[in-house]
Chains A and B, each alone.
Chain A
Amino acid sequence: MIGHAERAARFAADDARAHWHDQALWWVRAKRDKAASAVPDWERLRGLASAIKAHTQSRLADYLEEFERNATAAGARVHWARDAEEHNAIVHRILADRGATRLVKSKSMLTEECHLNPYLEARGIEVVDTDLGERIVQLAHEPPSHIVLPAIHRKKEEIGELFHHKLGTAAGLSDPKVLTEAARGHLRERFMRAQAGLTGVNFAVAETGHVVVCTNEGNADMGTSLPPIHIACMGVEKLVPRLADLAVFLRLLARSATGQPTTTYTTHFLGPLRGGELHIVVVDNGRSRLLADETFRRALHCIRCGACMNTCPVFRRSGGYSYAYTIPGPIGSVLAPSVDPRAHASLPFASSLCGSCDDVCPVRIPLHDQLLARRRDAARAGLLSSGKRLGMRLAGMVLRSGFLYLLASRLGKLLGRALPRRILYGRWNVWGRQRELPPLPRESFRDLYRQHRSERRG
């Protein structure tokens, strides 16, 4: 089965593109560093955010009920979905019951996770993603490659080409400003004809019953103020108890995501527009299972800022698609195996375990430890190759026994020196494809140390 390593190698094979991708995301990481350093007590803020998440999750059912009560009192309708299928069916029913066939959507990773677009399109509903990056990948018939920067894998020249074919812009355009204007004109038309707008939810507040949507383009606001129906889809983990808690997360989110002090638009939705409808679809889809898992529970803290992707040296050089999961990068590699451990068995290994993701995470998810735990689970479930398993067994045996260790050391050195380069660097030697092997010294440390001891005594 093809795993992350093979897909990553394909991306990295285009050295110039991989380095361009690396530089683009490193630039975002540097912006994040600068923005975070402008906040006094940033580290305390991260600790606080993590504590609020842990507390909320410790009594999630109570807070969800409180949220439903308050949202309903404000005139919203709250729907509950156990899984992706129920979520999609609920959204479709809301639209179908009202005869709506034209939907504009703002960015939502949850609907990506549930594969809502193809579900609705198969049922005769026109779905238009209105976030610029999302629109680009939608026109290209691709999923997003990054949760905050969905089209970060595409160069502006390629977007010009795409727009030329799909939107009829002039050939050869690559000026981002001109392309953005073209997309804006095209989208405005879609906003005007839309019968319903759908958004994700960045935060939901139990105390007030309102949901918060953070965007940089104002597209969510267009999509929720023009058509009369607003459907907001959220995972159960988006909840915070009080309005005061929201402040903690709003300070962390944009700074961690893009290095902005705050998103350009932070819109609070309490109840529907006058004469309109607000539907809030609350989705579990495996989250309560994750919550029940002591080892991986903290992965539910994630506020989807994407900072772990931007800082991950592996993600930057392997691209979002190499993960083959809706949420890529370190957090995706922790989440994906809880959905399907077999299909995503290679993801926990798509990391050098450098730990940079842990230190950048605004809600302090111990990502690299969780990746390590996922590796352990994959090994215990027998999901790793038998060659690897045998190799590790053998190495363990040799290293446990002083005699075998010494024997292997002598044999290895003998062979290493006796073999011609052609064989030493044969196809079997993955290390040696791009790297020289380390030198093979005649004596081991223990040999040298014995000599040193006897000299000192002598």
Chain B
Amino acid sequence: MKVALFIPCYVDQLYPHVGMATVRVLEKLGVEIVYPEEQTCCGQPMANAGFADDAAPLARKFLEVFGRFEHVVCPSGSCTSMVRNHYDPYLAGAPGFEALKQGTFELCEFITDVLKVARIPGRYPLKVGLHQSCHGLRELRLGSASELLVPRYSKVASLLSSLEGIELVPLARPDECCGFGGTFAVAEEAVSCMMGRDRIADHVKAGAEVVTGTDVSCLMHMDGLARRAGERVRFRHVAEILAEAMA
């Protein structure tokens, strides 16, 4: 299978190794990758800050770049959700848009839902806290949100727990927001940082050595707080864990 890789702008610039881990995981799973170099950003920062008119050209550019691929895969739940759930006001009715929406996947859901891979061969003998990033959880439904009275599932947790030796630690608040929230992290700095510290404390108390998630943005926020506070816990994107385990 051939997929186009969508590497969000901040991953391209700040966390290139997360992008490379995504490449290695997909290649190990037998997927052929195309990386269109014209891509930049999906426009979510502008859209979420209210500047829809500045997001619109980026949405159109995204369709131009990725519209010709059957599958687009992205190591970010939030950016994937931007395409799937928030592009309608910009692109409704545009040729190829519906197919693009249906064909754009977050990495873990692509592995479980499209590749139909349930077990990842590999070993990761550490205690891991799973941070369920909100947009992946509640907009993409990568797992069941704790508010909903539905059967419990988590696509990310089940992929991770298929690794040998891994221990997913139980959290007191399994899916509370870390407080990143895009521009919220700066516009509401005080509350954002308090939320982040509380999330870290929950993971640390549960004994996590590594905290993982589907979005580097949330991890970047928590990692920044943890490093400032001298916490020992490390932050790794789920692609990094999978890649390392499969290596």
Contacts and interface: CB of A to CB of B under 8 A. Distances in A.
Interface of A: 4-5, 8-9, 12-13, 15, 18-19, 22, 26, 33, 36-37, 39, 42-43, 311, 313-314, 317-318, 348-356, 358-360, 372, 375-380, 384, 388-389, 392-393, 395-396, 399-400, 402, 405, 409, 412-413, 430-431, 433-441, 443-449, 452
A395 B45 contact: yes
A433 B191 contact: no
Contact of A446 (B12, B191, B228): B12
Contacts of B43: 396, 399
Nearest to A442: B16
Contacts of B195: 313-314, 317, 352
B193 A435 contact: yes
24 contacts: A8-B191, A12-B190, A311-B147, A314-B188, A318-B191, A349-B187, A352-B179, A353-B184, A355-B138, A359-B148, A380-B53, A384-B49, A399-B41, A399-B58, A402-B38, A402-B40, A413-B13, A431-B189, A436-B223, A439-B14, A445-B7, A445-B19, A446-B12, A452-B20
Nearest to B178: A352
A399 B40 contact: yes
Contacts of B148: 43, 359
Contacts of B196: 435
Contacts of A311: 147
B159 interface: no
Contacts of A396: 43, 46, 51, 54-55, 57-58
B151 to A, nearest CB: 11
B67 interface: no
A449 B191 contact: no
A287 B57 CA distance: 35
Contact of A430 (B13, B15, B186): B186
A15 B9 contact: no
Nearest to B192: A352
B181 A353 contact: yes
B1 interface: no
Interface string B82-98: 00001000000000000
Contacts of A22: 198
Interface residues of B, number: 74
Contacts of A439: 14
A8 B188 contact: yes
Contacts of B41: 399
Contact of B189 (A372, A389, A392, A430): A430
A384 B53 CA distance: 14
B189 A400 contact: no
B185 interface: yes
B184 A438 contact: no
B40 A400 contact: yes
Contacts of A409: 12-13
Interface centre among B19, B187, B188 (most CB of A within 10 A): B188
Nearest to A40: B149
Best-buried of B134, B147, B181, B185 by chain A (most CB within 10 Å): B147
Contacts of B46: 392, 395-396
A367 B180 CA distance: 18
Interface string B42-69: 0101111111111101100100000000
Nearest to A385: B187
Contact of A355 (B15, B19, B61, B135): B135
Contacts of A437: 224
